[in-house]
Every structure is written in structure tokens, then in C-alpha cells.
Chains A and B, each alone.
Chain A
Amino acid sequence: KAGVTQTPRYLIKTRGQQVTLSCSPISGHRSVSWYQQTPGQGLQFLFEYFSETQRNKGNFPGRFSGRQFSNSRSEMNVSTLELGDSALYLCASSLAGAGQGGYGYTFGSGTRLTVV
């Protein structure tokens, strides 16, 4: 069974640009969450989607947005990139249904974004 697929694996962008990252969850998983991982801040929760609806959002500025499609694939977008946005962005899918939890995540390998 295929795992969580994130594309691209590596990305270099210039300050002020925007970027879109993609995540394909495990087949049958309808919940997708995104995390930002940096050496200084660790794993920070960005948002969670279930059935195309954002259920939860972390404390990130509005430059960070996401969406989920009817096939459960998800994208996140960062506009007006800043140097501090350089990080590993991880997508995680779960069997968790609406209002449920506790299944745990299956993570992708991440997208390494470098902003120069």
C-alpha cells in the first residue's frame, strides 16, 4: 500500500515569491494535517483537513493556507515568502473521521523549502 506522498521533495524559492506544496494521503485516509518543522521551533501544527473542510488551524499568519480536494489530496500554499519560512513541511494522513482521533498519523517524507 502506497504511503503518504509529498511533492516536491526539495524547493528553493526567493523571498516574496509564493509556493504550493502537495500531499497525497494513504488511500482511504480522509484526514490530512500539515506541520512545519524547524530546528528552533520543532514541529508546529499548521492545519487539519477532513472531507475538504478545515477543522483546525494553528497559530500561523494568513500567508499560510491550505485546501483539500474531493479525493483527499491536499495542498498548502505560502504567499509572500520570508526567510523564516525555510523549513521541512510535513504532511500526515490519518483514518480519523469527523470528531474522532487517536489513530495516529502516517507521515510523508516532507518537502524541504529553502527561502533565499
Chain B
Amino acid sequence: AQSVTQPDIHITVSEGASLELRCNYSYGATPYLFWYVQSPGQGLQLLLKYFSGDTLVQGIKGFEAEFKRSQSSFNLRKPSVHWSDAAEYFCAVGARTGGFKTIFGAGTRLFVKA
């Protein structure tokens, strides 16, 4: 079965600083990997996804993520954080199990200091 670990419950960064959110996954085969963002009281929005190809993937809102098979990691990065990036971020791993099932990590809450 697949699983996802986001080691940081919350992170605080200053506006304009760089950001890296960590994600480690467990799955026997090559997984589908995703990052989502959730603003308070809202559903989740897909930032980016990876299955194959270039291990550095670009997403929306200036985010990127790098897949490292040897470390079972899929960390999310942004070079310069804006106050509007404050939200909760979820890493997810998807796998074919009959149909298709996506498991989410516990999330990392991002706070942005002015």
C-alpha cells in the first residue's frame, strides 16, 4: 500500500524568502506524485504532478518539485514566497489498485511573515 509523510506540520518563512516543503512517499512501483494547496474553507487545488520524464516538474503559481527516487522524496520548492502563498500544502501519491486511489499526506501549514 502507498503512504505519504510530510515531516513538517507547519513552516514559517519571510515574504521573499525561498521555500522547500518536504515529502517522502512509500510505494513499491513508480508512483504518481502530486502537490495540492488548500486555502481556508476551500477545496484543494492541484499545483503540479509527476509520473515519468524529467524529475524536475514545474507547476502553477511559480512552484516546482523534484522527484528523487533514491530518497523516495518529492519536495516542493518556490524561490520567492508571497504573502498569498500562506495556505496548507498536501503531498499525495496515487496508485492503480483496481481503480485509482490517491493517498494524501497530513499536510504542511505555511505561514508567511511580512
Where the two chains meet, the residues of A that have a C-beta atom closer than 8 Å to any C-beta of B are 4, 31, 33, 35, 42-43, 45, 48, 50, 55-56, 90, 92, 94, 96, 98-110
B84-114: CB near A (< 8 Å → 1, else 0) gives: 0000001000111111111111110000000
B104 CB contacts on chain A under 8 angstroms: 35, 42-43
Secondary structure at chain B's binding surface: helix, strand, loop or mixed?
Answer: strand
Quote the shortest CB–CB distance from B88 to chain A (angstroms). 10
Closest 3 CB pairs of A and B: A55-B99, A107-B43, A101-B100
Quote the shortest CB–CB distance from B56 to chain A (angstroms). 17
B34 CB contacts on chain A under 8 angstroms: 104
Find out whether the CB atom of A102 lies under 8 angstroms from the CB atom of B46: no
Task: List 12 A–B pairs whose Cβ atoms lie within 8 Å, in order of A's numbering.
Answer: A42-B105, A50-B99, A90-B43, A101-B96, A102-B32, A102-B94, A104-B46, A105-B44, A105-B102, A107-B36, A109-B41, A109-B43
Find out whether the CB atom of A56 lies under 8 angstroms from the CB atom of B45: no
CA distance A3 to B103 in the complex (A): 22
Instruction: Given A90-B44, A104-B49, A107-B43, answer yes or no on A33-B102 (Cβ-Cβ < 8 Å).
Output: yes
Find out whether the CB atom of B43 lies under 8 angstroms from the CB atom of A48: no
Quote the shortest CB–CB distance from B108 to chain A (angstroms). 11
CA distance A104 to B98 in the complex (A): 17
Query: Nearest B residue to A109 by beta-carbon distance?
Result: B43
Instruction: Given A43-B90, A102-B32, answer yes or no on A48-B46 (Cβ-Cβ < 8 Å).
Output: no
CA distance A96 to B34 in the complex (A): 15
CA distance A35 to B106 in the complex (A): 13
Instruction: Given A101-B32, A104-B49, answer yes or no on A110-B96 (Cβ-Cβ < 8 Å).
Output: no
B32 CB contacts on chain A under 8 angstroms: 101-102
Contact with A99, one of B96, B105, B106 (Cβ below 8 angstroms): B96
CA distance A13 to B44 in the complex (A): 25
A92 CB contacts on chain B under 8 angstroms: 43-44
